[in-house]
Amino acid sequence: MSDLKYERSGHVPVIDMNKSDEELSVEFYEALTTVGFACICNSGIWELAKDYGRKANSFFHLPYEEKKKYSKPNSYDCHYGWLANGRVQLEETAPAPDYKEVFHTNRITEGDRTLAPPIIDSEESRKLRAKFEEQASRILYLLGVAMKLKDPYQMVKAHSFTEKKNPSNQSVVWYPPVDKSLLVPGQLRCGEHSDFGSLTLLYSDAPGLQVMSRELGEYVDAGFIEGGIYVNIGDMLQMWSGDVLIATKHRVLLPEAKFLDKERVSVAFFGHADDEALLETLDGSNKYPPITARQYLRRRFSATYGTEQ
């Protein structure tokens, strides 16, 4: 998939990564300070993610007892493992947990088959993660340019994606076919939430993503483009930027009745700052007290996953 050119994907601006850094810095700043989302094309991610997602999907079809061997421990320091359907509830006030399964991996898991099975921790997985990291770093740099930081690489330097001190996750999300007899009224595939960290890059194989429109005050379809990867700001980067960059709430709906028997697969890269990175508002306003990335993320993970402190 190459040389894709679009203007918008539903509510979300589309950005062509083949443009110059000067053009891209303006476009990312505009998108991520208003909508909070962008859809990037020509990133080199989509084909890798499609291939990996299709193969990794087979893990979720294994018997429960086999998947259970890889269950995610209840500890902040374990950023890897399988989360069964019903174990994640991103919207705290939702009537039921999210209708999905997830397998998180990070640098700690690479090469350790006791932590993640080969179908998850594969050569395809590592190639994809490298491309996710490359584009996430580029976007952080472009935002640094647009925000006129003294050192435009300041945010990049706080995200050592290739080091084990960095807790960033690459996650496969499986939305199984929907059994209506198991549904609770109001339940979603993924409840309303904003992401925890700095920057998320997301591949999906089907529509369903909705984002909260700041203009309309309601949810609107993000749209779906083959070749498009969604990028959004997380709460940590919104805080760090002094609320210049926007962490927009989003969700994944249940499919229409005629598609309830269809599964959906996403692969997400959740980019976080290094554990010991000190987050002081980038504009010097001191709008929020300084906090380390580790302190910030522990609070958020605990609320969502019941993680031990």
Find the DSSP H helices in 35-99: 46-56, 64-68
CA 41 to chain centre: 17
- Express each pLDDT in 20-72 by its tens digit: 999 999 999 999 999 999 999 999 999 999 999 999 999 999 999 999 999 98
Give me the mean pLDDT over the 4-25 stretch.
82
- The packing angle between helices 123-146 and 21-34, to 10°, is 90
**CB-based contact 101:174 (threshold 8 Å):** yes
- Express each pLDDT in 93-104 by its tens digit: 788 889 999 999
Q: What is the pLDDT of residue 2?
A: 42
The DSSP call for residue 133 is: H
Q: Is the pLDDT of residue 161 over 70?
A: yes
Strand partners, 169: 270
Distances (CA, A) of 8 to 45, 223, 276: 19, 8, 37
Tokens of 34: 């208003």
Contacts of 257 (CB under 8 A, 6+ apart): none
Q: What is the pLDDT of residue 4?
A: 46
The mean pLDDT value of the chain amounts to: 90
**CB-based contact 222:9 (threshold 8 Å):** yes
Beta strand extents in 92-243 (DSSP E only): 101-105, 169-175, 190-193, 199-204, 209-213, 218-221, 229-233
Tokens of 83: 């989360």
What is the pTM (predicted TM-score) of this model?
0.92
Neighbours of 176 (CB within 10 A): 16
Strand partners, 212: 219
Q: Is the pLDDT of residue 130 over 90?
A: yes
